[in-house]
Chain A
Amino acid sequence: MKANAESILEVRDLVKHFPLTQGIVVKRQIGAIKAVDGVSFDLHRGETLGIVGESGCGKSTLAKLLMALERPTSGAVRIHGRDITTARGAELKRMRRNIQMVMQDPYTSLNPRMTVGDIVGEPFEIHSDVVPKGGRRRRVQELLEVVGLNPDHINRYPHQFSGGQRQRIGIARGLALQPEIIICDEPVSALDVSIQAQVMNLLERLQNEFDLAYIFIAHDLSVVRHISDRVAVMYLGKIVELGSDAEIYDSPTHPYTQALLSAVPVPDPEGRETRQRIILQGDPPSPANPPSGCHFRTRCWKAQDICAEQTPALEARPGSDHPSACHFAEARDVVNAQ
C-alpha cells in the first residue's frame, strides 16, 4: 500500500441534487434532495481512500457519480485528466474500463441464472477487444484462481456458493478489465465476521499485486481504518474531514468525526465503565432541507451563531495539518480516551 504522488482520479466540487416534484400532470419542482453537495478529493495510484458516514450521507450516490451511473448536477470527475461526467458513447465506455465496482450485497448483485463463468466473463462481451474470444474461458479461470476460488467451478451457479465466495465472484468480475480504480461499496458488511477478514485480506493482496486504487465505502469505522491509507468523513452530502488514517482516528478535529468514533464499540471490556462517550441526540436532518451554515450544527455541542451563518470550508485549521470543515476544529483523541 504505497501512495505515490500521481493522482489518477480528481473529483472537483461534485454536486448531485435529486429534484422533488409535486403534481401528476404538470410536475413542478418543489425542492431537491442534496445527496452530494460539493465534494472534492484526489485519489492516488495504489492507495485506498476510505469514505465513512451514516446512511443517507451520500456515500453511495458519490460512488454512482464516480462510475458515471448518475450524471452530476455540476462538478467534475477526472480520470487521468479526462472528465467522465461529460463523456459519451465510445469514450465513456473506454473510460469505464478503468473504473470498476464491487457491490455490497453478494446475494442480489449476481444474476442467479448465469453461471460464474458467464458472470465473470461478461465484461469481455461488452469490451470485446480486451481478450480474444478463444482465450476468454481461460482468462476467467485465471481470475477465479486469483480471488481464491476453484477454477473448476466455472460452470456453477451463484446459489452454489456461500456469501464470502459470492463476494469473491463479484471481485473477480471487478478485476476482469484490469482497472486501475475499484470502488468497493460496503463490500464486507453483509458477511459474517470470520469471512469478513478473508475478503479484506484478499482485497489487500490484490491491491499489492495489481497496484489498484480503492475507494472503500463503509459504515464500519474499524473496517475502514484497517484497509485505508486516507479517510474522508461525510455528513449530509459534504466531506467534513479528510486525512490519513492516523490523523482521522488518533487526532480527529471535527466534532462529527469525534462523535462517530466515540460511538464505535471497542471489542475489549477493560475500562468500559470509564470510557467516555459522545452520544449524539436524534437523527441526521433531511438532506432535502439541511440546516443553514454548517450542516452538523443542529447536533453539535460546540455550535454558536457563526455556525448558522457561515458554511465552514474544508481547509487546514490551526493546530492540525489535515483539512476539517469546522469553525472550532480542535484535535481530540476519542478512541483511546479512557
Chain B
Amino acid sequence: MTEVLSEQVGRGSHSGALLEVEDLHVEFRTRAGVAKAVNGVTYSVDAGETLAVLGESGSGKSVTAQTIMGILDMPPGKITGGEIRFRGVDLLKLPEDQRRKIRGEGISMVFQDALSALNPVFPVGWQIAEMFRMHRGTSRAEARKKAIELMDRVRIPAAKDRVNDFPHQFSGGMRQRIMIAMAIALDPEILIADEPTTALDVTVQAQIMGLLAELQRDSNMGLILITHDLGVVADVADKIAVMYGGRIVENAPVHDLYKNPAHPYSKGLLESIPRVDHKGQELYAIKGLPPNLLEMPTGCAFHPRCPYRRDNCVTDVPPLYAISGTRGSACHYWREVIDEGER
C-alpha cells in the first residue's frame, strides 16, 4: 500500500480485526418493489484467516462482497445502513478516489466466471499488467515483466509464451488462475473469492483451492470464501458464516458447525447433501423454497420451512444469540437444535 493510503487507513492503529462488516443493510429498488438483499450482516476477518460465507442463491452473500469491494451498482442498489471497517476506517465514508486505491491494493476479489470477468479483446498479460500501470504508474515494459512473474506464480505453464494470448485461448482452470494473478498483483491484505471453483471440474477445483491456500500462507492474506459447497468449506475454512435471506443465521468455527449445527437451516443443509464416502438412505430435503426478497416472511425468514417452528417464530425476528464467544445462532430455539445430538 502507498504511504498516503496507510495514513488514511491508519495502519496498525486500531484494535479490531483487519476487516469488519457491521450491521450492513443493502436493498435494491426494482419496479416490482424493494428487495432487501442484505439485512444486518456482521462478520470479520483477520490476517491469515479464512472465513467461509455459505449460502444459497439470493441469500445476499455476493451482494455483501460487492459492497465491501465498492463495486455494487448504485442504483438500483442502495446501502441503507451499517459500516465496513478496513483497519478501523469506515470504507463507506471514504471518497471514491480513496476507495479505488484500496480496491486491488487493500482488498481484492476473484470472480466466479473468469470468462466473463476477463476482457475478451485484450491479451491476459496486458490485463494483469494494467494493475501495475494504473495503481503504481509502472512503465509498460516493467509491468509486462511483472505480469509474467505473476503468471509463473499462479503456475501457468510457459508463462512467457502465453502472456500475449487472449482469454479464450485458455482453459477454465487457467483462466481462473489469471483472475487470481490479477487479484494478488498488488499484494492485497484481504482476498474475496466469490465461488472461485463453481464452474470447474473437481480435479481442477482441487488445484485452484490448493493454489489459494498456498498464496494465503505465503502472504498471510485474510480470505473470504463465498460458496455454496459444503465440501469446499470443510476443507479450507477456519470459521463459517451461514447466510439465509440476507442475514447471518449461524456463525461458528468450522469444526463446531459440522459437528453440531445450532441453526435448523445449517442442520438441514448438512443433512441434505449426498456424500461421496458412503451411500446413505433417502436424502433429507428442506421443504419449500428460499424466501422471495420482495416479500420476506415476517419474523424469522426461515420459519415457513422450519421443523422447529413455534408461534413466536412467525412474529419475532430472532437476534443472533451468542452461544459462546465465537459462536452465534439466529434461532429462538437454538438450544433445542444443538441438544438434538452430535452428528
Contacts and interface: CB of A to CB of B under 8 A. Distances in A.
Interface of A: 54-55, 162, 164-165, 192-198, 200-201, 204, 219, 221-223, 225-227, 245-246, 249, 259-261, 263-270, 272, 277, 279-283, 335-336
A54 B285 CA distance: 27
A267 B202 contact: no
B276 A264 contact: yes
B157 to A, nearest CB: 7
Contact of A267 (B203, B205, B275, B283): B275
Contacts of B287: 198
A268 B234 contact: yes
A287 B48 CA distance: 41
Contact of B274 (A192, A200, A270, A277): A200
Interface in B197-252: 201-207, 209-210, 228-235, 237
A197 B273 contact: yes
19 contacts: A54-B204, A165-B289, A194-B56, A198-B287, A200-B274, A200-B283, A225-B274, A226-B274, A264-B202, A264-B276, A266-B234, A266-B277, A267-B234, A267-B270, A269-B255, A272-B234, A272-B235, A281-B207, A283-B171
Give the one of B202, B228, B235 with max A CB within 10 A: B202
A280 B284 contact: no
Contacts of B228: 192-193
A242 B270 CA distance: 30
Nearest to B255: A269
Give the one of A227, A259, A282 with max B CB within 10 A: A282
A245 B274 CA distance: 14
A219 B232 CA distance: 15
A283 B207 CA distance: 10
B321 interface: no
Contacts, number: 134
Contact of B290 (A192, A264, A272): A192
Contacts of A268: 234, 258
Interface string B24-64: 00000000000000000000000000000000110000000
Nearest to A188: B274
A249 B274 CA distance: 13
Contacts of B285: 194, 197-198, 201
A121 to B, nearest CB: 25
B150 interface: no
B174 A283 contact: yes
Enumerate the 4 nearest inter-chain pairs by beta-carbon distance, A residue then B residue, closest first. Answer: A265-B231, A226-B274, A197-B272, A197-B285
Interface residues of B, number: 48
B279 interface: yes
Give the one of A165, A194, A245 with max B CB within 10 A: A194
A196 B274 CA distance: 10
A164 B276 contact: no
Contacts of A201: 282-283, 285
A194 B290 contact: yes
A270 B255 contact: yes
Nearest to A57: B201
A216 B229 CA distance: 21
Contact of A283 (B173, B232, B268, B283): B173
Nearest to A54: B201
A249 B279 CA distance: 9
Contacts of A264: 202, 231, 276
A162 B204 CA distance: 30
A265 B203 contact: no
B17 interface: no
A263 B210 CA distance: 11
B210 A279 contact: yes
A270 B253 CA distance: 12
B269 interface: yes
B294 interface: no
B254 interface: yes
Contact of B203 (A197, A200, A280): A280
Contacts of B207: 279-281
Contacts of A267: 230-231, 233-234, 258, 270, 273, 275
Given A192-B290, A194-B268, A200-B274, 10 more contacts: A54-B202, A193-B269, A194-B56, A226-B274, A246-B279, A263-B205, A265-B232, A267-B270, A270-B255, A282-B157
A334 to B, nearest CB: 10
B79 interface: no
B280 interface: yes
A145 to B, nearest CB: 17
Contacts of A55: 172, 201
A193 to B, nearest CB: 6
